[in-house]
Chains A and B, each alone.
Chain A
Amino acid sequence: GQQVMQIPQYQHVQEGEDFTTYCNSSTTLSNIQWYKQRPGGHPVFLIQLVKSGEVKKQKRLTFQFGEAKKNSSLHITATQTTDVGTYFCAGPETSGSRLTFGEGTQLTVNP
């Protein structure tokens, strides 16, 4: 079945440093989604990328979808303590009715 892998599993940064998490799928995806889960909270949808090579920005967050539509990345510039949490990528299975989630990257930010 489809697999979605994320690296790194954990990332510790000093406030102000940049952060990047990478997501790779075993199959070509129709889209890739990113979610953020704060400690003790629930996953919250951030963004969906659909087109090959697409780049989208949300303030300090930059999301990319690879040309082959099998990989994606999330880059945070100048991290803040509010960025703490686990970031998940997810891709729809072929049927489109369910998502496969990556294992997530847990980000901690030291003030």
Chain B
Amino acid sequence: NAGVTQTPKFRILKIGQSMTLQCTQDMNHNYMYWYRQDPGMGLKLIYYSVGAGITDKGEVPNGYNVSRSTTEDFPLRLELAAPSQTSVYFCASSYAGWNTFGSGTRLTVV
């Protein structure tokens, strides 16, 4: 099992560009999450999904969108990137309550 796989690992975006952060899990977990972590800070929930076809907003959803067409995939879309979106993004999945995290995407918006 690969667990939770995130791509890319690093990305530099220019202000106003868009991109999709990919996340896939092979554990057949129903729950999936996107968090962002600013330097030296905790985890803030952006969006989450309790199953295919269902998504919901977390604490900081503005500027992001998600979709969940399959159990395995939960991509995060950034539209019109802003410097405030410079952060490390973690995808996670869950079955029995605890989160299994991917290795993260380090995004810089310049």
Residues of A near any B CB (own CB < 8 A): 31, 33, 35, 41-45, 48, 88, 90, 92, 96-99, 101-104, 106
Contact = CB atoms under 8 A, between A and B. Distances in A.
B90 interface: yes
Q: Main SS of chain B's interface residues?
A: strand
Contact of A97 (B31, B42, B90): B31
Nearest to A31: B97
Nearest to A34: B98
Contacts of A90: 99
Given A45-B98, A103-B41, 8 more contacts: A33-B97, A33-B99, A43-B90, A44-B101, A45-B99, A99-B99, A102-B42, A106-B40
B102 A42 contact: yes
B58 interface: yes
25 contacts: A31-B97, A33-B97, A42-B90, A42-B101, A42-B103, A43-B43, A43-B90, A43-B99, A43-B101, A44-B101, A45-B98, A45-B99, A48-B98, A88-B42, A92-B97, A96-B97, A97-B50, A98-B33, A98-B58, A101-B42, A101-B43, A103-B41, A103-B42, A104-B42, A106-B40
B62 to A, nearest CB: 17
Interface in B17-72: 31, 33, 40-43, 45, 48, 50, 56, 58
